[in-house]
Amino acid sequence: MGDYVDIRAIELGKYIVNNKATVRAAAKEFGISKSTVHADVTTRLRRLNPQLFAGVRKVLDINKEQRHIRGGIATREKYREFSLK
């Protein structure tokens, strides 16, 4: 099972870098939990492919900086839906 997990970690890393995806988006795409994605790309990927890990880290850091903005947009859209009904 270790080989599968290692392959998944690399595939997750490639997906995140190529799509500038969030952990949530990657989890949805691969059908696994956010916790699993995070563990794969932070712990396993660092050991397996440090160069890919560095790319993933950059994307995740950008996502972390922007999360308060995305959260505010989501809240605004949520209440906009209620006011239209």
Number of domains in the chain: 1
Cβ neighbour number for residue 52 with a 10 Å cutoff: 19
**% of the chain beyond a pLDDT of 70:** 92
Q: Is residue 32 part of a domain?
A: yes
Q: Is residue 12 part of a domain?
A: yes
Q: Is residue 70 part of a domain?
A: no
Tokens at 27, concatenated: 């989890």
Q: Is residue 81 part of a domain?
A: no
Q: Is residue 83 part of a domain?
A: no
Q: Which domain holds residue 21?
A: 2-60
CB neighbour list of residue 27: distance below 8 Å, 6 or more residues apart: 33, 34, 36, 37
Q: What is the pLDDT of residues 46-81, one digit of tens each?
A: 999 999 999 999 999 998 887 677 777 778 888 877
